Each structure stands twice: as C-alpha cells, then as structure tokens.
C-alpha cells in the first residue's frame, strides 16, 4: 500500500520530511522498516541558528549526503532494494539529456503505481535554502513535491514556471519548468549553489538520486 506524501511540521524540517517522502514515494508502506525512519531523523536537523539553537537552520547538505550514504550501507546489510548517488556540479544539471531527468522520466505516467526513481533537490525558496522531492516528468516539466505548505497564490507558485498540482497526493504537488532548476540566480527552485550566492554549496548545485534496485 502506498500512502500520500506529507508536509513538514515546522519551518525547519524540510530535509527529513523530504527524505521520508522519498521512501513513501518509492516503496509500499509494508516495505519500510522503522529503522529507516529512525535513521533519517537521527541524522538530520543538524544545523545551528546564529543563536546556537540546534535545528533552527534546518538540515545541512552534509547531513543529507550522510543519510544518502547510510541508505547504501543499509541496502547491503538488509538486502533492501535502494541505491543512492550524490550528484553535484555539471552532473546535477536538469535537462532532457541528463541522467536525473532520464531517471525521473522512466517512472512513466504520474499515476504509475511502481515508480523506480526520485531525486532530492537542495533549492532556493524565497531567501532560504530548502529541500524538495522530484518524482517524475510530465509534458516536459518536472513533477515535484514541496513539503512547505503554503497558499497557491503565494510563495513559489506563479502559475507559469511553477504550477500547483492538486490531484497527485502520492507523487507531486508542483509542476516545474525544468529550466527553473538551472538558474544561476537566487530564485525559487533554482539549485542552491556557489554561483547564486552560497559558497558552501557545489558550483552547479547538488541532487541526490534515489533508485529502487529490484526488478
């Protein structure tokens, strides 16, 4: 049984929420061991605010990388069908000829009951870094789930570059022009990178590609 994707509980937990959503999207509820969920939350919300408050700056990209590597180790130890790849720089480009775009397109239609791949993107959202889940391709646009609940008339949704999706609770709540991710400016859903004012990130941004490995 697959279950709907979820929204974050606070302003800060987009990282663990998006990781859990990746599991929800790719696997049936009965396939997910509690250890996976525990491990996600134990390894995220690691970034400190300027006042020294743990978690008040959300989850660092180093922590997200750590969870991605953990999933590969867990896969080997528990024979769980998952494989992750951390893509940065030119490899994180989203375009019809890129590895991530092709993997997302391989999921087939948005209503596919057995998706094979998803990707976690570290993007700009307003003036902040944010994590969203990429789940497919439809009509040349990237389907995504943004865990930050906001009114359709506000925030990132503009009706053109970023559109609201209401009828795919198991897969997406956004449809995004693929070019939005590759912008070198601080704009909604642009991959967060050293080129758009955050020197701690890779030059061309970063994506975590997650695949089911069973057939």
Q: Confidence band (pLDDT; 50, 70, 90) for 152?
A: very low
Q: Confidence band (pLDDT; 50, 70, 90) for 108?
A: confident
d(CA 153, CA 120): 25
Q: Write down the mean pLDDT value for the chain.
A: 90
d(CA 170, CA 192): 26
Lowest mean pLDDT among 55-59, 137-141, 149-153: 149-153
Q: Is residue 49 scored above 70 in pLDDT?
A: no
pLDDT of residue 21: 98
Q: Confidence band (pLDDT; 50, 70, 90) for 73?
A: very high
Strands 141-145, 128-138: pairing kind: antiparallel
- pLDDT tens per residue, range 155-212: 788 889 999 999 999 999 999 999 999 999 999 999 999 999 888 888 889 999 999 9
Domains and CATH numbers, the chain: 13-212 (3.90.70.10)
Global confidence as pTM: 0.94
At residue 42, what are phi and psi to the nearest 5 degrees?
-70, -25
Q: Is residue 140 scored above 70 in pLDDT?
A: yes
d(CA 109, CA 86): 25
Lowest mean pLDDT among 36-45, 54-63, 81-90: 54-63
């Amino acid at each position: 049984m697959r279950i709907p994707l979820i929204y974050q509980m606070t302003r800060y937990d987009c990282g663990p929420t998006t990781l859990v959503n990746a599991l929800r999207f790719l696997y049936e509820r009965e396939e997910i061991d509690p250890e996976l969920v525990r491990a996600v939350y134990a390894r995220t919300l690691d970034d400190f605010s300027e006042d020294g408050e743990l978690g008040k700056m959300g989850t660092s990209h180093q922590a997200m990388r750590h969870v991605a590597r953990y999933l590969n180790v867990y896969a080997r130890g528990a024979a769980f069908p998952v494989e992750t790849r951390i893509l940065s720089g030119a490899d994180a480009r989203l375009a019809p000829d890129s590895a991530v775009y092709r993997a997302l397109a391989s999921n087939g239609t948005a209503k596919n009951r057995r998706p094979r791949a998803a990707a976690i993107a570290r993007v700009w959202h307003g003036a902040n870094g944010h994590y969203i889940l990429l789940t497919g391709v439809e009509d040349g646009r990237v389907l995504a789930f943004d865990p930050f609940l906001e009114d359709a008339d506000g925030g990132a949704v503009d009706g053109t570059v970023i559109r609201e999706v209401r009828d795919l609770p198991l897969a997406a709540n956004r449809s995004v022009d693929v070019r939005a991710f590759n912008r070198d400016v601080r704009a909604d859903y642009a991959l967060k990178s050293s080129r758009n004012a955050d020197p701690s990130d890779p030059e061309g941004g970063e994506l975590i590609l997650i695949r089911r490995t069973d057939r």
